[in-house]
Structure 1
């Protein structure tokens, strides 16, 4: 029985994609472009790719749900979330929120996609004082909810994220929807922010990049930030330049007065210039925040939920890592078939799916996800002590 239990709770957790892995992505882009384009030969322009199925050779060994969680718990060096509340002045807190928001932008592996999460799948990880819980609350359309809390600084982060990928011939345009909210409960401040778009380009130069506008607003302090993510251009890539630049500003909401200019590159450094004094400062350094990342480790196997993402997809991930493509395809099919059977049983009994950790409200095409518990408990998956030492 003990051996059966151990097998049942076998987990495979892939390493997060860090800043230094970017060159590998560019190499994969140049090698895999023909194979990727062949998958879309029968797909019409403008088609919704939400339910498009990839072969295991083009899957990362992780679920999209894990990718969402990594944007919060996977970091090295400074605890950027905690800094948002530790700053004394409102303007300094907003600059910290801007820096943390930029840190959630991670390099994209071109030509490789994570698994589409199954309904009810979860991912629960702790790193230092930060506890993160994600859950797939809808499958058609795919909607993911995230709740993170910082024990020491009394910070609450909630995300409701869903996207619509559209095939545009030379590229895929992914509109990321949903609301991101950070509450600094000790300061009685709420910061609402939207999300950038993702563009996966095939021609003339392959690559994936974030683009669009991000707005961060705090009604209690009458301050807001607006960031513009500049797309990589073909000319820049041809010259060997990786653009990924950000330009933006911090303003007073009521008067519209601009207080700071923001500029830099999200994969390098971001600076803020005080327009009154002319002084500038670096508010974010990507190399210090999103390099040398490690996956979580299992602290308590017995507490790992049956729905844990790393367990749901463990066999698929293991076969992908071993490049056993035939067995990976079979394992992936088994996960998807299990989900279809669960749906059939619910439909036969007239049972509706109810998320375990979030209250979900749908208003037309918009979704809102609220956590059922005020704080996220400590997780059975943790970032190793080697990383936590960097926080102290």
Structure 2
């Protein structure tokens, strides 16, 4: 999501103050997870042991499908390990994985600011996901808040329904109790049915009292009549329920243990078809060094990638060129974030398979 400082940027850290943007700072390899942030974004879509997308598609009514979409949206919220962060993706980096009939493709379409674009399709279910995300981490003294900009769009093409939603923000707290949590408001809207969900992700208060860590509370309502249909409550790392406002019935719509249990590392099925820009290939030497705890080799591998990135940007600037994504058409949105449109209609099957 973000990183802190490199050897060549020690002088810059003297100027880090509350409100500072941390997107240009890098962590030393000892504090990196052995994967790219692009892979982490992709995992939010394909790393599930339950086929929640199929359930979204099979609902018999607008309301049934909407509730399933709410559950799917919650499933993309994953816990992080405090003190470690994935690599910042390089410009043009890609990640391509298939899970069953779902094919997922991501591209890093901007480096500063860091913007990632995702396109996922399931031709059998006739489902499409388009997701453009820009995380801006700000330092606030005792914490870092990663403000997540961009729009997620889930299309159930068989039903001619489109669901738009945003992401909660990531809070990394150093004091008084270290921890990582998702916070903020998430709105999910179906333009065709007029149904809307307003969810609030909550954390502990500053001193660790009050509030409920990893909790979700909200409602589902009809935007035309403003009638509240369901109350939503629970924890995104455990279970989430909905309460029918008409009859008082309560049922579980999301079980994190069921959705995330038994996951396995993706498997390479076709090495010849892997792009040179694939995340696992770009960062292979660094990841291997981290796994072996060879920090000298890790620093060298990371420095090589960073220098190559800077050289690419210098060459583009000297020729007056700007980077053009190869797989997406990108633009700035009116809200200040980014929007993207995939060039391909359907994502092809990937050489990397999630089991």
Give the TM-score of the pair, scaled to structure 2: 0.93
Answer yes or no: is 1:342 the counterpart of 2:312.
Answer: yes
Structure 1 residue 236 displacement after superposition: 5.3
Partner of 2:47 in structure 1? 74
Residue 139 (structure 2) aligned to one of 151, 167, 184: 167
Residues 308-387 of structure 1: matches in 2 within 5 Å? 308-363=278-333, 365-384=336-355
Answer yes or no: is 1:110 the counterpart of 2:59.
Answer: no
Q: In 2, distance between residues paired with 1:289 and 1:237?
A: 30
Q: CA RMSD in A?
A: 1.8
Q: In 2, distance between residues paired with 1:242 and 1:216?
A: 22
Question: Contact between 1:244 and 1:266, CA under 8 Å: does it hold in 2?
Answer: yes
Cα deviation code 1:161-193 (max 9, x no counterpart): 001111111000110000110011100001000
Partner of 2:29 in structure 1? 56
Q: In 1, distance between residues paired with 2:163 and 2:76?
A: 15
Partner of 2:199 in structure 1? 227
State the SS of the aligned residue for 2:225. Answer: coil
| Range with greater deviation from structure 2 (368-377 or 340-349) | 340-349
Partner of 2:276 in structure 1? 306
Give the TM-score of the pair, scaled to structure 1: 0.84
Structure 1 residue 45 displacement after superposition: 1.5
Answer yes or no: is 1:279 the counterpart of 2:252.
Answer: no
Answer yes or no: is 1:154 the counterpart of 2:154.
Answer: no
Q: In 2, distance between residues paired with 1:128 and 1:275?
A: 37
Structure 1 residue 277 displacement after superposition: 1.3
State the SS of the aligned residue for 2:130. Answer: strand
Q: Which has the higher contact order (CA 8 A, sep 6+)?
A: 1
State the SS of the aligned residue for 1:213. Answer: strand
Question: Contact between 1:82 and 1:150, CA under 8 Å: does it hold in 2?
Answer: no
Between structures 1 and 2, the one with greater helix share: 1
Q: In 1, distance between residues paired with 2:82 and 2:112?
A: 25
Question: Contact between 2:230 and 2:243, CA under 8 Å: does it hold in 1?
Answer: yes
State the SS of the aligned residue for 2:164. Answer: strand
State the SS of the aligned residue for 2:109. Answer: strand
Q: In 1, distance between residues paired with 2:337 and 2:249?
A: 42
Structure 1 residue 347 displacement after superposition: 3.0
Q: In 1, distance between residues paired with 2:278 and 2:167?
A: 26
Cα deviation code 1:98-119 (max 9, x no counterpart): 0000000000111111100000
Q: Structure 1 unaligned runs (5+)?
A: 1-38, 385-392
Q: In 1, distance between residues paired with 2:187 and 2:195?
A: 11
Structure 1 residue 237 displacement after superposition: 7.5
Question: Contact between 1:156 and 1:185, CA under 8 Å: does it hold in 2?
Answer: yes
Residue 223 (structure 2) aligned to one of 253, 256, 263: 253
Question: Contact between 1:236 and 1:243, CA under 8 Å: does it hold in 2?
Answer: no
Q: In 1, distance between residues paired with 2:264 and 2:194?
A: 38
Structure 1 residue 40 displacement after superposition: 6.2
Q: In 2, distance between residues paired with 1:356 and 1:237?
A: 48
Structure 1 residue 63 displacement after superposition: 0.5
Partner of 1:132 in structure 2? 104
State the SS of the aligned residue for 2:252. Answer: strand
Q: Structure 2 unaligned runs (5+)?
A: 1-11
Cα deviation code 1:230-264 (max 9, x no counterpart): 113466589xx972111111100111100001111
